[in-house]
Amino acid sequence: MAKAYDDIPGTIVFDSEQAARGYHLNQFCISLRLQANRDAYKADPEGYIDTFPMTPEQRTAALTEDWLGLLELGGNIYYTSKLAAFHGINFQELAGLMTGMGSTDYRAMMVSGGRSIDGNRYQSEWDENDDG
């Protein structure tokens, strides 16, 4: 079913459908909040991740740090950021990776006022830019 927010570009709304899809993935990510679990994941990534019954696609996205893929497969940023933190990546660096801008350019954009709302409200505005 089409949703009102489907036409917001570069955005995945973590709704109940995404939450259901990402449940085990998100529970894996949030488990890394605790030191004992971080130690276990570090010692044996595949062994640890296999204790969470996620899909093969989610498992691969987590192991390969595919940050956009994780969101598309039902991950939520407050969860995936725990996996990022495990890898020493903070929120701003993570945003640099997800936007494809890299940390330096992303940080510069934020310091100069952030990403403008103009041209970033509707998917159609992004599509026009691709065509141009």
Nearest approach in angstroms of CB 111 to other proteins is 7
Interacting residues toward other proteins by CB under 8 A: 4-5, 8-16, 19, 22-23, 26-27, 30, 32-35, 68, 71, 76-79, 81-82, 85-86, 90-92, 94-95, 98-100, 106, 109-111, 113-117, 120-121
Separation between Cα atoms, residue 33 and residue 5, nearest integer Å: 30
Nearest approach in angstroms of CB 20 to other proteins is 10
Nearer CB in complex with other proteins: 36/43: 36
Nearer CB in complex with other proteins: 35/104: 35
Neighbours of 67 (CB within 10 A): 20
Nearest approach in angstroms of CB 103 to other proteins is 12
Nearer CB in complex with other proteins: 64/123: 123
Separation between Cα atoms, residue 111 and residue 105, nearest integer Å: 10
**Residues 22/30, Cβ–Cβ less than 8 Å:** no
Nearest approach in angstroms of CB 9 to other proteins is 6
Type of residue found at 32: L
Separation between Cα atoms, residue 109 and residue 114, nearest integer Å: 5
| Contact residues for 66 (Cβ-Cβ < 8 A; gap 6+) | 60
Nearer CB in complex with other proteins: 57/99: 99
Report the candidate in 39, 85, 83, 78 with the shortest Cα–Cα distance to residue 65: 83
